[in-house]
Amino acid sequence: MQMDPLIEQSYYYNERASEYDECFERIGRYDRGDENNRRWLDAVQAVRAEIDAFRPTGNVLELAPGTGNWTWQLSKHADRVVAVDFSESMLHVCRQKVKSRNVEYLQADIFSFQPSEQFDTIFFGLWISHVPKEKAADFWAMVASALKSGGRVLFVDTLPNPIITAHDHEMPNGSTEIERRKLNDGRSFQIVKRYFTPTSIQMELELLGWKCSAKSIDDCFLFATAEPDT
């Protein structure tokens, strides 16, 4: 029997927590050679510079923090970060790594998450690509409900560049939202992965009542800011 890809995707990330940072650090199956590794690492630094320039201050909600690759950076600007992820093992790694006193952790499924407060900034890294198209409107309505008046949304994701994924992952053919991903031990899982261009995310958000400004960074990242179009 086929499992719901959203459930399979949450299992995949929970099982991947201890090896997740191999992707960010370009080691193991994510080592794509010196030149490509350098391109990725430079692109991550360029994204970090953009986040610093944006200054995610005040009360910040981070959706899907994973192992905290952006959480520690957000915590330097924010008064307080509330980090919401479904995976207990991801949150465990994040807690160990980030160690900032102003970060609070919440284990919850984003697709049923009902924020109990409003935030100055909402951030998500490498998450919007995992939201299926049929759930996009509900997801963005939840984000709007969690945003203070005048608040800002910032998100980053990866572009469909073959140097980014593991060498034993197949690149998507563009006809489906579902991709198959592997762990180091060979187990494989279906996940949702929607790739956006700056133009396609702007168009999708415009239809959902948001003003979005997006750009690509070094052919590796989509970097976007958004606010409700009131």
Alpha-carbon span 36 to 114, nearest angstrom: 40
Strand order in the sheet with 221-228: 103-107, 80-85, 59-63, 119-125, 147-158, 221-228, 210-217
Which of these segments, 6-14, 49-57, 175-183, 209-217, binds ligand SAM (CB under 6 A)?
6-14
Which of these segments, 74-82, 122-130, 162-170, 177-185, binds ligand SAM (CB under 6 A)?
122-130
Reported as type and span, the H/E element at residue 9 is helix 5-16
Alpha-carbon span 102 to 26, nearest angstrom: 29
- 54: closest CA among 192, 229, 204, 224? 224
Binding mask 10-49 for ligand SAM (x = CB under 6 A): x--x------------------------------------
Q: How far is the CB of 230 from ligand SAM (least distance, A)?
A: 28
Tokens of 212: 């979005």
Q: Which is nearer to ligand SAM, 107 or 200 (CB)?
A: 107
Alpha-carbon span 16 to 183, nearest angstrom: 7
Q: Which is nearer to ligand SAM, 125 or 151 (CB)?
A: 125
Which of these segments, 123-131, 144-152, 164-172, 209-217, binds ligand SAM (CB under 6 A)?
123-131
Provide the binding-site residues for ligand SAM, judged by CB under 6 A: 9-10, 13, 64-66, 69-70, 85-87, 90, 109-111, 125-127
